[in-house]
Structure 1
Amino acid sequence: MTYSEAVEWLYAQTRAGAPRGLSRIRTLLQRLGHPEVAFPTVHVIGTNGKGSVVAYLEAAFKAAGERYGATTSPHLLDFRERIRTHLGLIPEAEVVHFVEWAQGQQFSEPVAFFDLTTALAFRHFAAVGISIAAIEAGVGGLLDATNVLPWVRATVLTNIGEDHLETLGGSLEGVARDKAGAVRTGVPVVTGAEGIGLEVIRAIAAERAAPLYVLSESGPLFDLPVQPSLQGRFQRQNARLAAAVLRLLGYDESTISTGLSTAQHPGRMQQLTYQGVPVVLDGAHNPPAARALVEELEGFHLVFGAFPRKDYRTILQTLLPKARSVRYTYAARGALRAEELLQAYPAPYFDHPLEALQHAVQSSQQDGSPVLVTGSLYLVGEMLRLLQGRAVDGLLTAESV
């Protein structure tokens, strides 16, 4: 089996309509000898900012000389970006070996992609012998595969917003209850949530005697000793959450400063230059992310692609007031096509992302406004892949993620 064949097999695995739950991941981990017990973790949950918080933590762990692990999703260029340690991305051979093992197993119910990827990450971390991990949850918290972790030293609940509403209870309160369901008894919780989300988190943390630390720009726990490396005003909140966790874990201020100032997280306000035109790539895939994004830009020429399971109409409505021109493209397999997108707002549609980018560049060359590529991290990843090998300033490769 080749690496690409192994990844394709992983992509094809679903729970086939079965309810969400932890039985599948527990079965996987039991058969692997429970690798999840081998390392402590920071569990990062929330609607937005999870990957950025992990990036800050990862950079700080590196600065401290830790043997660390980190998981984020989705990837941009290579599946292996989802599973990283101090040694780099998980080796291709290990992915292949795991898939061959999984294919030889008999399960009583279909095992989904995220269950398999989570089990692979935990097995890899145990084999490498990491000393700490920053783990990003997938969807929600209570029934997310990452909620089997037994040795959580801190929980981060970044925020509560409108995403996965149909899966997580149909309301912000339901989303908050699901995400806060991962709060552990006695384990510190750091959060940037507000409103009803914070009310729910506060109640659950109290029930479980979990110390709760709510983001405060004036609080010393959340102090920013340096300017965060990631772009956007919203990144200051993510950086404050990461700084608070690092202080609770006992890291010194020098390590915290290095982590905040050196973190990398491609695809989030990532700035490139293509054919002399500024291009911003951002994977904003829900309304809160879109609202944060538009606050950063005065005007832009929009390249938009999204998926039917997302609230793409609200995302578009958020982006359109500052969009000086609009065009759609096909984000990735399963993404929205022209007929659905044109019902939301009339604009040209391009099957190929580079054609859409080139069309936007022509508009940008007329007025100097940047091109914004957004709507999905899968679109951002595909655009980065297509731009590889072309004359692009500011392009990062998979190995630098």
Structure 2
Amino acid sequence: MTPDPTYDWLFSRTRAAAGRERGPQAARELLDRLGAPDRRFRSLRVVGTNGKGSTCAMLEAGLLAAGVRTGRFTSPHLHRFEERIRIAGEELAPARTREFVAWAQREAPEFAFFDLTLGLAAQTFAESGVEVAVMEAGVGGLSDATQALENVDAVLLTNVGLDHTAALGDSIAQIAADKAGAALSGAPLLSTAVGGEAQAAVQAAAERSGALLYLPETHPDLFALPHAPALAGAHQRQNAALALAALRLLGYDDGLEAALGASWPGRLERFGCQGRTVLLDGAHNPAAAQALAASLPRADTLLFGGFARKDTAQTVAPLLPLASQLVWTAPDEEGEVADPQALAARYGGEAQPNPRQALDRALALTPAGGTLLVTGSLYLVGLLRETLLQAGAGIQVG
């Protein structure tokens, strides 16, 4: 990609570079500096380990179909930064990003990337007359920047798994407590999280905050699915149940079918390429990999690339039985990646650090009519999705 000073500066604003700790305090400071735009629309806040983006996509589709002017804030993006911020179903205009970054460089250079992105989303939603914004948390719940948001109509918790342990804690109980800590007094807290520790944390958070708790066990009709969602994978039924429960609870029943028909790129997404099926899925932690493996009976070839900060061994474990051919790559040339050579030495298969060359090799190893699974990182999926599209690969339905 051609260097762009706007995006280069924005992406350089890591928390370390900004000297800011995680948490909602800085985000609230920035939102107030912007005139508290989050008070001019209502928010649905989505937290959880996996499935947040899919749930947000279904909520957005449902709200739009119900006639609501809707904003959507998600992360990360696959191809373009502006995918993160949508108004009425359309991506943010790049000119608006440049305008905001120019302001931030002058007036708010001390803030971190996620806080700035959240501020840009909130300001744009307010200026665009958004009625309801679907807001995806970054990491955690109580400790996430989105906890700064005011005027929150409901909090949705998808699930709880071991991820971001350095920030949230190294046990399910600790992670669940942080995520469920997003609960707000008097507001609905809807959750499809399963497991004793996760459910106990959700119950405790609801009691502590005074949130109104809705679970599939307590309100089965609210979470009922009339049919499977368009998004592939058994785990998407859980995400769809959560989205539909929120839509029903808040009175947007007219949007239920549209929610079930929503799409979300890079999640068990199918492409046809060179007479093969290529499946792209951004599973990047053990829980996501287990859900992916449960939804896919087999593949001929696995192309995997992940980051060193993740639990690679536990993520790879459920995927290895799926495929007889293995190719290991790096999702990012600059990040601290899980070493492809080390993975090949440990699990077998071939190492090809260049992801595009790895895709070519994986396709060559996959027999005609066979299936190649690409997974391990949303960054890898985004890069190779763009490569497939540029090569004329077709997206397959079903």
Q: TM (normalized to structure 1)? A: 0.93
Q: Distance in 2 between matches of 1:165 and 1:336?
A: 17
- 1:240 equivalent in alignment to 2:241: yes
Q: Distance in 2 between matches of 1:115 and 1:220?
A: 37
Q: What's the secondary structure of 2:319's corresponding residue?
A: helix
Closer/same/farther in 2, CA of residues 395 and 129 from structure 1, 3 Å limit: farther
Cross-structure match for 1:209: 210
Cross-structure match for 1:160: 160
Say whether the 8 Å CA contact 1:384–1:395 is kept in structure 2: no
- 1:278 equivalent in alignment to 2:280: no
Q: Distance in 1 between matches of 2:259 and 2:209?
A: 31
The farther-off stretch of 72-81 and 327-336 is 327-336
CA shift at 1:343, angstroms? 5.6
Which deviations, in whole Å up to 9, do the C-alpha atoms of 1:235-262 show, x marking residues without a partner? 001000000000110112x42122212x
CA shift at 1:347, angstroms? 2.9
Cross-structure match for 1:249: 250
Q: Distance in 2 between matches of 1:25 and 1:344?
A: 42
The farther-off stretch of 43-52 and 357-366 is 357-366
Residue among 41, 46, 70 paired with 2:48: 46
CA shift at 1:306, angstroms? 0.5
Say whether the 8 Å CA contact 2:31–2:38 is kept in structure 1: yes
Q: What's the secondary structure of 1:96's corresponding residue?
A: helix
Q: Distance in 2 between matches of 1:106 and 1:237?
A: 40
1:20-59 correspondence runs (5 A):
20-59=22-61
Q: What's the secondary structure of 2:265's corresponding residue?
A: coil
Q: What's the secondary structure of 1:326's corresponding residue?
A: strand
Q: Distance in 1 between matches of 2:346 and 2:99?
A: 45
Cross-structure match for 1:337: 339
Cross-structure match for 2:390: 389
For these two proteins, the number of residue pairs brought into alignment is 390
The farther-off stretch of 20-29 and 321-330 is 20-29
Which deviations, in whole Å up to 9, do the C-alpha atoms of 1:98-145 show, x marking residues without a partner? 1111111256xx422111111111111011010101110000011211
Which deviations, in whole Å up to 9, do the C-alpha atoms of 1:181-213 show, x marking residues without a partner? 111011111111122011011011012221111
Q: Distance in 1 between matches of 2:391 and 2:344?
A: 31
Q: What's the secondary structure of 1:104's corresponding residue?
A: helix
Say whether the 8 Å CA contact 1:183–1:204 is kept in structure 2: yes
Q: Distance in 2 between matches of 1:32 and 1:256?
A: 34
Cross-structure match for 2:297: 298
Say whether the 8 Å CA contact 2:162–2:170 is kept in structure 1: no
Closer/same/farther in 2, CA of residues 147 and 340 from structure 1, 3 Å limit: farther
Closer/same/farther in 2, CA of residues 296 and 123 from structure 1, 3 Å limit: same
Residue among 72, 75, 82 paired with 1:73: 75
Closer/same/farther in 2, CA of residues 34 and 340 from structure 1, 3 Å limit: farther
Say whether the 8 Å CA contact 2:20–2:112 is kept in structure 1: no
Seq. identity, %: 44
Cross-structure match for 1:359: 361
Say whether the 8 Å CA contact 2:73–2:85 is kept in structure 1: yes
Closer/same/farther in 2, CA of residues 374 and 22 from structure 1, 3 Å limit: same
Closer/same/farther in 2, CA of residues 329 and 121 from structure 1, 3 Å limit: same
CA shift at 1:222, angstroms? 0.9
Q: What's the secondary structure of 2:295's corresponding residue?
A: coil
Cross-structure match for 2:9: 9
CA shift at 1:27, angstroms? 2.1
The farther-off stretch of 195-204 and 221-230 is 221-230
Which deviations, in whole Å up to 9, do the C-alpha atoms of 1:9-47 show, x marking residues without a partner? 111111216432223212211211111111101100000
Q: What's the secondary structure of 1:150's corresponding residue?
A: coil
Q: Distance in 2 between matches of 1:80 and 1:166?
A: 28
* Alignment RMSD (CA, Å): 1.9
Say whether the 8 Å CA contact 1:3–1:92 is kept in structure 2: no
Q: What's the secondary structure of 1:167's corresponding residue?
A: helix
The farther-off stretch of 237-246 and 382-391 is 382-391
Q: Distance in 1 between matches of 2:190 and 2:341?
A: 43
Closer/same/farther in 2, CA of residues 298 and 227 from structure 1, 3 Å limit: closer
Closer/same/farther in 2, CA of residues 157 and 329 from structure 1, 3 Å limit: same
- 1:186 equivalent in alignment to 2:186: yes
Q: TM (normalized to structure 2)? A: 0.93
Closer/same/farther in 2, CA of residues 72 and 395 from structure 1, 3 Å limit: farther
Say whether the 8 Å CA contact 1:299–1:369 is kept in structure 2: no
Closer/same/farther in 2, CA of residues 88 and 291 from structure 1, 3 Å limit: same
CA shift at 1:165, angstroms? 1.4
Q: Distance in 2 between matches of 1:200 and 1:49?
A: 19
Unaligned 5+ segments in structure 2 are: none
